[in-house]
Amino acid sequence: MKRTEIASLGEFGLIDHLTKNIELKNPSSQKGVGDDAAVLSYDNKKTLVTTDLLLEGIHFDLVYVPLKHLGYKSAVVNFSDIYAMNGQPKQITVSLGISKRFSVEDLETFYEGVYLACEEYGVDVIGGDTSASLTGLTISITCIGEGEESQIVYRYGAKDTDLICVSGDLGAAFMGLQLLEREKTVYDGETDFKPDFSGKEYLLERQLKPEARKDIVKFLRQEGVVPTSMIDVSDGLSSELKHICKQSGVGCRIFEERIPIDYQTAVMAEQFNMNVTTVALNGGEDYELLFTIPLYLHDKVSAIKGVHVIGHITKEEYGLLLETRDGGEISLKAQGWDSIKEG
Question: What is the rounded CA–CA span in Å between residue 85 and residue 95?
Answer: 24
Of 137, 31, 167, the closest CA to residue 74 belongs to: 137
Tell me: the pLDDT tens digits for 13-65?
A: 766 766 777 677 877 777 666 656 667 777 788 899 999 999 999 999 999 99
Tell me: the pLDDT tens digits for 74-92?
A: 999 999 999 999 999 999 9
| Domain spanning 163-331, CATH architecture | Alpha-Beta Complex (3.90)
Domain boundaries, the chain: 6-147, 163-331
Question: What is the rounded CA–CA span in Å between residue 255 and residue 313?
Answer: 12
Question: What is the rounded CA–CA span in Å between residue 311 and residue 7?
Answer: 56
Q: State whether residue 60 is helix, strand or coil.
A: strand
Tell me: the pLDDT tens digits for 56-79?
A: 999 999 999 999 999 999 999 999
Q: What is the pLDDT of residue 199?
A: 87
Q: State whether residue 30 is helix, strand or coil.
A: strand
Question: What is the rounded CA–CA span in Å between residue 202 and residue 195?
Answer: 15
- The helix (H) or strand (E) run that includes residue 143 is strand 138-147
Q: Fold for domain 6-147?
A: 60s Ribosomal Protein L30; Chain: A; (3.30.1330)
Question: What is the rounded CA–CA span in Å between residue 278 and residue 266?
Answer: 11
